[in-house]
Structure 1
Amino acid sequence: MKNVVLSHAGDQSPHKLATLVSLGRRIAEIKGCAFLEAASPAAFGMMADCYYVPLETIALEECIGREAVFGCHDLFGGIVPHAFMATKVITHPLAADATHAPESWRNEFCDRVQGIVLEGFSVFTAKDLIRAAEHLLSKGRVRIKSALADGGHGQTVIADKKTLHGFVDLLEPTKLTGGYVVEEDMEEVTTYSVGQVVIDDISISYFGTQRTTTDNRNRPAYGGTRFCAVRGNWSDLTDWLKDAAAKRIVRAGKLYDDLAQDVLQLVASRKNYDVLVGTDSRGKRKIGVLEQSWRLGGATSAELLALEALKETPSLAAVEASSYEVYGRTEPSTRADLICFAGEDPQEGPMTKYARLEARYHV
């Protein structure tokens, strides 16, 4: 039996660390094993008989034991060969005649996902960002996203070249080296979550809808996810879903996932894909996988509640669960089944993060 060990870098916001501890303890309860507090991410795989719960996707190039072989039962999250593969930039190709890219950049993955993602580019210099954005601006507005941004932050919509150049002038060169995504901006959008979680001998797959909210600075932010989860894999999920559009969204996430395993050598026990449905500048409705999450995410609290319920009650065919992120001074819902954080975060201000099981469907 393995001990559950948290793994994180030291410079993290209190709400993220509190959430990590809360979810790590819950995973230990599900697995029926001991819980240990923390370990260095670089030491992944070096501590015997440990099941890791890292805050970020593990990049083997940064690990001490990178020559070892790891499987999905060694951690909650994912493992990729190189760090950039776990960020937003992996979804889109480089701009034409790109002046810079990560040393281990692979074109194959970007090429093969083009049919299920929005039109866009990944860039690593100001020159490439301007070139990519100007190309897309000829068709409509563009959205620019930092490769490492999360929670709905770090995004800017640009409508013209003047605004574009003003935006680029204010970017720090060090941030540019980490990468940015430049993609077409969509209207009338809904963002869906498609995911899978595996812990020991039980796996769940789910489909749901994300909510947006505003943070304490009145900026758009992730507000949570409500989803329906079933035991098993993608086909078990599509068999349960009745709506044809929902099935298409799940299949887009599945294809992205299949290619990540095939091309990037992804190994993961927690996989979540944001899939957008919206209208482009020419009025065409599109489905596009925006990005991946192979780590603890905003929906993980609800994922654990769903997995726990399906594990403990064999008569359940499916469950609905929700995660919530609420800004401002408020108390968690009295119906909360799992509270991850409730208090004042020095960076984000007052906020509450919790989850609850919404519905159970028996066989």
Structure 2
Amino acid sequence: MINVAIVGTGNISNLHVQGLLEFPERCKIVALCDIYPNKAESIKEKYNLGSDVRVFADHKSMLASDVKIDLVHVCTPPYVHASISIDCMNAGKNVLVEKPMAASLEECDRMLEAEKKNNVTLGVIAQNRFRDGVYKLKQLAKSGLAGKICLARVDSQWWRAHCYYDLWWRGTWEKEGGGPTLNHAVHHIDMLNWIEERSPVEATAVLTNVMHDNAEVEDLSLACLKYEDGSVAEVISSVVSHGEEQGITLQCADAKISMPWSLKAEVGMENGFPVDGGNTELIEKINKFYDELPDLKYEGHTGEIDDYLSALENGRKPLITGEDGKRTIEVITAIYVAGFEKKTISLPIAENSEYYKADGIQKNAVHFYEKKSFVENFTEEKITVGNY
């Protein structure tokens, strides 16, 4: 039985609790921690977790307590992901940290060092890998049936009302670490890295804030990533998009495959123009491959929690490792640097770059607006986490 503690009991913690409760024979929630203990008490009551579940106001007192903890889920605002995760790993606990992994590459590296030093397992939430459509798109891309990827388009389009950034930690470079490029597109950039199985070598970007004058950070960014072979990926990160349409389109050498699922495959006439109806033989072959892929047993957070628990039980790495989390942060950092400096940025980002550390990002970040007031908590718990 794996004893689990959850640090941070805001909205996203609900998905962690729900996922953990799917596996009562494998894990048990034994502690909840939040700087607002009443929020932790509410979660405890909402899910009827039992009177023996301890509630703490800070993670250090939790770690110093006599509660036996094997695994800590870190569900706090991004600016303390690294410090809390490192404290927990130094105390010998395994850690599953919410996205984004950390606010800087330097923090990512310190987390990876703590994992190695303490012989524990670090996992990073990127739950959309555990969606049937995304998983099948990955398998299809890997099969090579559509040919090499020439152009990828990532749509991380969300909508958030003006009041979304009223929450005390949101909309600041110091505490949230950025806008939708970091906190929303992190899912889709992780998917892109996973599907491509490589990292870009250049990034160009435009950052802006067009709807949220209560936030320092961007609410919209457009980025172009270039790979060593000359292929590119375009990434839209937005919280101004009505309809919240998200997905990934891969224009490959022989076919277009995308999620939500769509397939096109052209074949040329003698003059180079496409034949009516496209490459019917390839379309049939790809559809057959796609349809025969089995569905995942669990999706979303539950799917990732299942994989992470299996990793602990079997002594292996989880599907989404700390190294994966760092690769995603590196791409996001490059997008921010390109936007700040208004020029193309090369990857990887070296340790001697001023953007390697969070204070370098904060020093150079564009403040679109200044946050002058805030609220401590919202009462509404319902959130959207997307399907792709």
TM-score where L is the length of structure 1: 0.29
Return the index of the structure with the highest Cα Rg.
2
TM-score where L is the length of structure 2: 0.28
Of the two structures, which has the highest relative contact order with CA contacts closer than 8 Å and spacing of 6 or more? 2
Point out the structure with the larger strand share. 1
Point out the structure with the larger helix share. 2
